[in-house]
Structure 1
């Protein structure tokens, strides 16, 4: 069989672009729902294990360590088995671990079992995060337009559904073990269905010269990613925005209660405003990305986040605070997904680069909360947001590194040219 025939055969066996895109949406949503299942039941897990806040913090730290480990090995694993197998195996194993967390808490009362399960779950989460972002970037390259923020919006949607299910089951008294076992089965079946829409072969840009399959990279080549200036600077883009997002997730409600004197329900409402802004930004950001490109969008996003943070810090007024938080959320919404797209511009080493920048982002999620807490004890949580603002400025300065390259740049130029042509055609003749 000639190289051309092998190439055509690979194309024929791939699912349609629509099915592929829907499958990736499903993987993001399943991953979000899995995370929400654990997060929403943390009070019940703590009570079942009868542990202190310090001991429970160690469980969370174990999951974070597992996540970093998963991110560090993900590019090597994906280079060996591919993104499809990485997503399928990672999601199914993570669901088993979530079920084990529920059974280990409710039935066994074993701290060691829950800790081990969360470490493994964190590792699976790290691998799946890289694999699904690489797959999402491949969909972008195949269809010739940005869509990554919508995939991340699907993750948010999945987490909302997962949290709502958890809240409902907790309200009617369903135990941890039944909840986690049931959700593992349901999401496991959903993942098996989604897997049918994923291609069995890597996207076309990654084929060998003879058309036989993905280009192979060595361990040394994948590790050399960490010495690439562009990859490191894209990591800084993600660092600032991940810090802005993670700080709101962990501290916003408490900051409004402690430093602005609102009640607990109002603090939760303010966090809800941020979450809605994040989801809104990711939904409406795609057409803006396709029209203007990554760098203007990242700079504009950083400016919005800076305006929102500055207003929240300096103005102590409830309505203004709500508007400022919404603007902050809009600004923080696109940094992570756009950074992932930029890291995956070159399909040959996409997994290694996505793993590298995702590791930087997870570092922000891991180190950011304790840093803000440490500063909050001394200068107040609201004033500690100046650190977040400074890192968002770093994002704005670093944004040119995310400029489209290669095929991604050519596709955006074509879209911009078509848009300009349509505008000219609709204008009255002079």
Structure 2
């Protein structure tokens, strides 16, 4: 199979996920008004969606042992295509919750399987390309937030048209597994300790990322007298800055290495959130969100790359390696939802009286990436070879 076609198809999967998620989250104020939801109730609904996304990701992990990630990705995309129209056109609150639940489950399957595809393709290329895949997700988010800006006067039901996007992407030529399912990969011990360190950094990133996408529009809407047309700007500007850095991230990481890039990003991210927390106007808050996007952009793609590298190990046959990586990436994706839980639910609950206080939580916690950065450094693993016999000349082979 042409690997470049699979790369484009997988990038389209990331892009579609970004388009839909940001189209929905930037209209949360409208959903909140339609169904009369308090910030606490909204937080609980987001908790439900995140938990179901986790279930979807766990399901992908179990199914990855028996089938390939291409099929899982198609199933996840179709599930999203069903959930989005239901929650956008819901005639009653109960139907809205049902649609949100279906979407959440599909979200988890797509998240896990797109990253399975991405790390498999990166391995084929033999160089870092995960940042550009996540850049495609960010580009999709920019498109989704921009759509909200230009269609803010349209009814929520118009969002049902978004369901067409994942249906189209589901027909793309994803990378098939070039071997049958194998149980050997599940019987080989995976070094979870270094993976947990990398995963903790990803939790901190998604805590920040989800807080911005979920509560950024509500922050400028509730804290300032922001014109309704501009409430999507925090997420849009955050994603524009993040996407720019991600698209250049392959080269930046190759030149400087992941450790200094992550440390610099953590410091920039904390400073940017301080700008948001203490912002005197909505324009300054938007500036802070923009700087934040640039600072933390590459944490997620570097996390998946590092986890895949550790899971793949050395000396495994390609079939075993890919099965190991698929299973680990699906489980590793759970860190995404733990971070999303902290970002969407904790930020909302802590900030129920003032979202300034809510955003102070990630402002402090994002600095936790600093001590975790060394876990991302590539390690040269010793190759198991037989000890050479001393030669007559005294030199080894």
TM-score by length of 2: 0.79
Tell me the equivalent position of 1:421. none
CA contact (8 A) 2:25 2:213 kept: no
Selected match of 1:341 from 291, 295, 305: 305
> Residues 366-405 of structure 1: matches in 2 within 5 Å?
366-376=341-351, 380-405=354-379
Tell me the equivalent position of 1:414. none
> Residues 2-151 of structure 1: matches in 2 within 5 Å?
14=1, 16-39=2-25, 50=35, 52-53=37-38, 58-103=44-89, 105=90, 109-151=91-133
CA contact (8 A) 1:34 1:95 kept: no
Q: Deviations over 1:228-270 (max 9, x none)?
A: 21111111111111122222223345545666x5635676545
Q: Within 2, Cα distance between the matches of 1:235 and 1:242? A: 10
Tell me the equivalent position of 1:330. 294
Q: Deviations over 1:282-341 (max 9, x none)?
A: 122221012223222212211221333345556858887665443322112111121111
> Residues 200-279 of structure 1: matches in 2 within 5 Å?
200-202=176-178, 212-213=179-180, 215-217=182-184, 228-255=192-219, 263-264=226-227, 269-279=233-243
Give the aligned CA root-mean-square deviation in angstroms.
3.4
Tell me the equivalent position of 2:389. none
CA contact (8 A) 2:206 2:339 kept: yes
Tell me the equivalent position of 1:161. 143
Structure 1 pair 348/291, CA: closer, same or farther in 2 (3 Å)?
farther
Which protein has the bigger helix share?
1
CA contact (8 A) 1:231 1:356 kept: no
Shift of 1:348: 4.2
Gapped runs of 5+ residues in structure 2?
313-321, 382-397
Tell me the equivalent position of 1:293. 257
Choose 240-249 or 36-45, whichever is displaced more.
36-45
Structure 1 pair 311/70, CA: closer, same or farther in 2 (3 Å)?
same
Q: Within 2, Cα distance between the matches of 1:313 and 1:41? A: 22
CA contact (8 A) 1:30 1:191 kept: no
Q: Within 2, Cα distance between the matches of 1:220 and 1:116? A: 38
> Residues 357-368 of structure 1: matches in 2 within 5 Å?
357-368=332-343
Q: Within 1, Cα distance between the matches of 2:144 and 2:357? A: 33
Q: Within 2, Cα distance between the matches of 1:56 and 1:67? A: 16
Q: Within 1, Cα distance between the matches of 2:101 and 2:352? A: 29
CA contact (8 A) 2:11 2:136 kept: yes
Gapped runs of 5+ residues in structure 1?
1-13, 203-211, 408-430
Q: Within 1, Cα distance between the matches of 2:77 and 2:10? A: 13
SS in 2 for 1:139: helix
CA contact (8 A) 2:203 2:336 kept: yes
Q: Within 1, Cα distance between the matches of 2:162 and 2:124? A: 33
Tell me the equivalent position of 2:329. 354
Structure 1 pair 383/33, CA: closer, same or farther in 2 (3 Å)?
closer
Aligned residues: 368
> Residues 182-201 of structure 1: matches in 2 within 5 Å?
182-192=161-171, 194=172, 196=173, 198-201=174-177
Shift of 1:395: 1.1
Tell me the equivalent position of 1:424. none
Q: Within 1, Cα distance between the matches of 2:218 and 2:32? A: 20
CA contact (8 A) 1:238 1:357 kept: no
Structure 1 pair 320/99, CA: closer, same or farther in 2 (3 Å)?
closer
CA contact (8 A) 1:29 1:157 kept: yes
Structure 1 pair 330/263, CA: closer, same or farther in 2 (3 Å)?
same
Q: Within 2, Cα distance between the matches of 1:392 and 1:57? A: 21
Choose 183-192 or 317-326, whichever is displaced more.
317-326
